Amino acid sequence: MKRILSLCLALWPLLSGAEVRYRIIQVESGSQAPATYSSWGTGINNRGEIVGYFESPDLMFSHVFRFTLDAGMVDLGPTNSSRADPGDINDLGQFVGEEIWDGAFRYTPGVGFEYLGLVDANAINNRGQIAGGNGSAWRFTPGVGVEVFNETWYGIGINDAGWVVGQAPPWNAFLYRDDQGLINLGPGAGNAINNRGVVVGEWVGLPAVYSSAVVWVNGEPHLLGTFGGDMGAAYGINERNEVVGYGLDTRGRYTGFYWTEDEGLLNLNTLVATNSGWYLMEATDINDHGWIVGTGRYQGKSEAYLLVPIPPRLEITLAGTNVAISWSPHWPRLVLETAPYHSATNWQAVPGGTNDPVVLPAAGPGQVFRLTQYDTLDPQLTVTRAGINLVLSWSPPWPDYALESTPSLTSPAWAPLPAGTNSPVFLPATGPASFFRLRK
């Protein structure tokens, strides 16, 4: 999949100063809670609905809230309790959590709170399945009931396939799949899982640090590290494998992070305006649009926040006989694409279009440009025929891949093709048979 992030038709001035990627929004309580109360954001869905709780200074009172940009914060109660903590929210607006007297609950818009007779509901998927547990992990399925997973402690995350992640004795992360049963992922805890089966959480027992944020891909752990401190954990992951969580810095401060395979671990405080007044302590969830929810310090207390990505802005300037095309912010996996001015339908990647700036001749037919963000890092090679030629193209058209060919797979002799770093490549269709591959 890909997302169109910016379209440019004119000459715009260059931006200056530090790059800011996110607009930060305070999840304000307004009249819903006294000014001395703190708020904590725990989940966000793809509709931009946030769930969390606000809390009294003595920690004896907390209520669940739902927040949207349109409606602001709404206090949902529950009215029969002095303390309730929510967890995850699905795309139907249902969320789950724990209430101090009545245990695990599910909240459904139009229905309200329903108590499950269980302990610690932590996550709910788009099918209404719930993961939870304290002492033994469990999964609740509407119309089926409760399944308890033996030799486990906590059920923390669940995806739309019903796969559950959590923690099992003696401090091991686990993944439960219906087709494979319980899978030991190693020392730590699994906190969330996306529909691709990628798990995030924390890895414990390292020599230098107590814990590190970790991503498991096909069961293999990839440690993300911290910001120089001795603790860290990943709490949320979306379908684009963007990960959020926290890591301690060298001063022992909780510091929210954003991670991708392209860029590694980024301090969220470096991605917002320096004069925002915020210190972002942790990020707890991220939706498929890249919106991040978490908790930070603002005006002397803990406050829930929402980070909304700032779309990149294309800028075109004239440089002698050339035009220079640049953009900001520099999100990962961006590709500059172009199409004829009078027929903006046949979009093609610009050679070298992942590198900012791109310099092109100013002379020639009128063109329009746009930025596209791709979800995957791995290009897909396609071979088609156009008249007497073969057209070899790949998407995404990353510049650090080269096209190679060999006349045989039995005794391969791979060799780079001329101009084989820019997609598409045109070759004569006639001649001896050849095999092709992309090599990084």
Q: One digit per residue, pLDDT tens: the chain, 440 residues?
A: 555 555 554 333 333 335 899 999 999 766 666 677 889 999 999 999 999 998 877 777 788 999 999 998 998 987 666 788 899 999 999 999 999 888 999 999 999 999 999 999 999 999 999 999 999 999 999 999 999 999 999 999 999 999 999 999 999 999 999 999 999 999 999 999 999 999 999 999 998 899 999 999 999 999 999 999 999 999 999 999 999 999 999 999 999 999 999 899 999 999 999 999 999 999 999 999 999 999 999 999 999 999 999 999 999 999 899 999 999 998 888 888 888 887 777 788 888 888 889 999 988 778 889 998 876 656 788 899 988 899 988 876 666 688 999 999 988 999 998 878 878 889 988 878 889 998 87
Please check whether residue 63 is in contact with residue 51, taking contact to mean a CB–CB distance below 8 angstroms: no
The C-alpha atoms of residue 74 and residue 250 are separated, in whole angstroms, by: 37
Instruction: Tell me which residue of 86, 32, 17, 3 sits closest to 275, measured CA to CA.
Output: 17
Please check whether residue 61 is in contact with residue 55, taking contact to mean a CB–CB distance below 8 angstroms: yes
CA angle at 192 for the pair 81 and 113, rounded to the nearest 5°: 25
**CB-based contacts of 266: which residues, under 8 Å, 6+ apart?**
257, 258, 259
**CB-based contacts of 306: which residues, under 8 Å, 6+ apart?**
24, 25, 27, 41, 44, 50, 67, 69, 291, 292, 293
Domain boundaries, the chain: 21-309, 313-374, 380-439
Decide yes or no: CATH 2.60.40.10 for domain 21-309: no
Decide yes or no: CATH 2.60.40.10 for domain 313-374: yes
Residue listed under structure tokens 């996996």: 333
**CB-based contacts of 199: which residues, under 8 Å, 6+ apart?**
157, 165, 173, 175, 185, 190, 192, 193, 215, 216, 237
The C-alpha atoms of residue 242 and residue 333 are separated, in whole angstroms, by: 12
